[in-house]
Structure 1
Amino acid sequence: ELRPATMTIIVEDIMKLLCSLSGERKIKAVVKHSGQGALVTGAVAFIGGLVGGPPGLAIGKAVGGLLGAWVTSGQFKPIPQIITELPPAEQQRLFNEATHLECTDTVQLTTLVMGSEALQQQLLATLVNYVIKELWAEIQYDD
């Protein structure tokens, strides 16, 4: 039966474990849903609407969408870098999703995970799912 991790397993240690696993597998991601891109898109659509009315709004929305995509089309970043850049609240959410194994401390959890390819795959699947769903990212595997 799965149950929540105890308090002796701390968020920072789980983030290090996830960084290690994803780093070994060279998993990268690019975040597609960016606030900066949304601001560019919205601003250009707004200006288009002010200048050209409804047709200007449509054109502004299209041009803004392209500009927004261009602004946010960054390079793929290694997942460990993304994990370390997550705000504490997001790290806590990832921690909650990742720590469903019955362990009493970080050492026990790390030993258990590193000794089991199946558990590594399960943890990586949780991480990839989180990155795709919560960060709206696209994943790239270098292996």
Structure 2
Amino acid sequence: MSTKVQDIMQLLCFICKQEKMQAAVKRSGKGALITGAGALIGGMVGGPPGIAVGGVVGGLLGAWMTRGQFKPVPQILMELPASEQQKLFAQAMAILRGLDWTDVKQLIKLVTGSESYQQQLLALVICYFTKHLGAQIQYRN
């Protein structure tokens, strides 16, 4: 893997670490399904108020099921296969076109000095995780 790809991956990890992003790749769909099922059953049993109660109960149950399944996004990014890292690299380079850097420290400094770059790269990571990995993103406090 080229040095530039590694630099971009480290940059993405740095930005996601600052945002304290975590993702649940497994069971996030199951948690959402349980939330929806709870609202449906609640609506069938209790009408409109039952939808609210069923949604809350289903949401709590779904959250309980995915508890502990969240991993730090930077860890997941570094565990991606080289081919997936290459895809993220290409998309990030489309955002960062025109930037020239010599090492990862300089790249991080350039990007963290620009709110626009940071927001675009965060959007890239979120889109990748939700669309390609089917993950649910969470921000720790």
Q: CA deviation at 1:104?
A: 2.5
Query: Aligned residue for 2:10?
Result: 16
Does the CA contact (< 8 Å) of 2:11 and 2:107 recur in 1? no
- Tell me, what secondary structure is at the counterpart of 2:69? coil
CA-based RMSD of the aligned residues comes to: 2.7
Q: Which runs of 5+ in 1 are unaligned?
A: 1-7, 34-71
Query: Aligned residue for 1:92?
Result: 86
- Tell me, what secondary structure is at the counterpart of 1:99? helix
- Tell me, what secondary structure is at the counterpart of 2:24? strand
Q: Which runs of 5+ in 2 are unaligned?
A: 28-64
Query: Aligned residue for 2:23?
Result: 29
Q: How does 1:1-143 map to 2 (within 5 A)?
A: 10-32=4-26, 75-100=69-94, 101=96, 102-105=98-101, 107=103, 109-143=107-141
Distance 1:77 1:106, change over 3 A: farther
**CA–CA separation in structure 2 for the residues paired with 1:106 and 1:93:** 21
Runs of 4+ in 1 over 4 A off after TM superposition: none
TM-score scaled by length of structure 2: 0.62
**CA–CA separation in structure 1 for the residues paired with 2:102 and 2:86:** 15
- Tell me, what secondary structure is at the counterpart of 2:100? coil
- 2:84 alignment partner AA: E
**CA–CA separation in structure 2 for the residues paired with 1:115 and 1:106:** 16
Q: Greater helix share, 1 or 2?
A: 2
Distance 1:23 1:78, change over 3 A: same
Q: Percent identity?
A: 51
Does the CA contact (< 8 Å) of 2:20 and 2:139 recur in 1? yes
Does the CA contact (< 8 Å) of 2:20 and 2:72 recur in 1? yes
- 1:110 alignment partner AA: I
TM-score scaled by length of structure 1: 0.61
Q: Which structure is higher in RCO with an 8 Å CA cutoff and minimum separation 6? A: 1
**CA–CA separation in structure 2 for the residues paired with 1:106 and 1:117:** 21
- Tell me, what secondary structure is at the counterpart of 1:113? helix
**CA–CA separation in structure 2 for the residues paired with 1:13 and 1:133:** 24
Question: Which has the higher Rg, Structure 1 or Structure 2?
Answer: 1
